[in-house]
Amino acid sequence: MPLYETVLQEKPAIVLEIGNALTKLGFAGEPYPRSIIPSEVVDHRAKNAGLTTPNRKLFAYGNETELYDALVEFLKTIFFKYVLVSPKERKIVVVESVLCPTAVKEGLARALFCHFDVSSVFFVPTHLVVLATLAVETALVVDIGYKEAVVVPVFCGVQALYAWEAQPLAAESVHAEIRRQLVACGVAEQLLTEATVEDIKIRTCFVTTAARAAKYRADDGPSPPEPCPDVEYAARGDAMITIPGRLRETAYEVMFPVDNDRLGLPYIVLNAILRCPRDTRVPLAENLILIGGSTMVPGLAARLKAELMALLGSDLYRERLFVSGFKFHKAPSEPNFTGWLGGSIYGATDLVLTKSITREAYGKNQTIPDFTNYDESRGAPMRGG
């Protein structure tokens, strides 16, 4: 029987992208995830008290046993509340970063195979599958999520992992800056829950221009900028929080720090390009892809491009990086689930049959391969096995 007939007759694979803050889930071959849910679980104390509302981050674990228990509970919620299918004998596609901790990857595989009895698991790297949504094979993928910003070059379908860069310049840092400025303005800390701060960020904040940001940094300058209008935000009950115009413009400046460390977002993008071979630098600079929920803020792409162009003329890069400009791709989906869409595309091909780890293979060798150690046949024991 031809392979494509087998693929069409099979039930579609379930595609999961489990992030630090949000999890995207759905079926292979579909253009959108069925649900986007918080990556949270109910801890044992709350469950014993009869509570059902998630109250703990999925990856806030103390040891691998806690992680495994949390993953099992979270997967139960996914399969039986949102996807509404039995995972038994199902194929699973997991979209994960190559920087994902090994303990998380192995715990997830053990939960899927041993507890839910799935037929196979196909791990696909986020930064690689994103390119499938654009039908390109070379790009510089900038992933800004909740915990950190990760830059991974991909050239001719191969991740250049020796050139990756990462810094904690993401939503968590922005939330901390918003909370700091509001507390300095006299807002009670108990009003600033994580959900409230995130809502303030989404509804009121944006990335300002480089020129205005420079004026804000020089507070004692001759011509301070006129801030954008303040906004009244309704918090719990009758409480009202005034969001200053300065905060609205400067909350995202944590991504563009001006200091001697030179580890801001534009620097790690240029450093990643510099660490690649010379003949790949121009194609990478002309194929930038921004993914992750934090890239959806208005003004980020324009500000990043302006900062990159300014740095090209600086002493640090003028004689080292010979690039004339930068071009950004627009993915056919929202940036927050572009990685999931790439996994959905991969899950609808015959790769899910030929590259997956089957339950039988996992029973013989429970070591999950990663980017440093990959064995397609899984016949011989691998390093650490």
Give residue limits of the domains in the chain.
14-132+336-365, 135-168+262-329, 171-255
Residue 381: its pLDDT value, please?
A: 43
**pLDDT tens sequence across 41-56:** 887 776 766 667 777 8
% helix, strand, coil for the chain, step of 5: 40, 15, 40
Question: Where does the pLDDT of residue 377 fall: very low under 50, low under 70, confident under 90, or very high at 90 and above?
Answer: very low
**pLDDT tens sequence across 106-153:** 999 999 999 999 999 999 999 999 999 999 999 999 999 999 999 999
CATH code that applies to domain 135-168+262-329: 3.30.420.40
14-132+336-365: in CATH 3.30.420.40: yes
Question: Where does the pLDDT of residue 373 fall: very low under 50, low under 70, confident under 90, or very high at 90 and above?
Answer: low
* Higher per-residue pLDDT: 220 or 73: 73
Question: Where does the pLDDT of residue 226 fall: very low under 50, low under 70, confident under 90, or very high at 90 and above?
Answer: confident
The domain made up of 171-255 has a fold known as: Actin; Chain A, domain 4 (3.90.640)
- Strand residues in 69-159 grouped as ranges (E): 91-96, 120-125, 139-144, 149-155, 158-159
On the question of a common fold for 14-132+336-365 and 135-168+262-329, the answer reads yes
Distance CA 337, CA 6 (A): 28
Reduced to 3 states, what is the DSSP secondary structure of residue 199? helix
Q: What is the pTM of this model?
A: 0.89
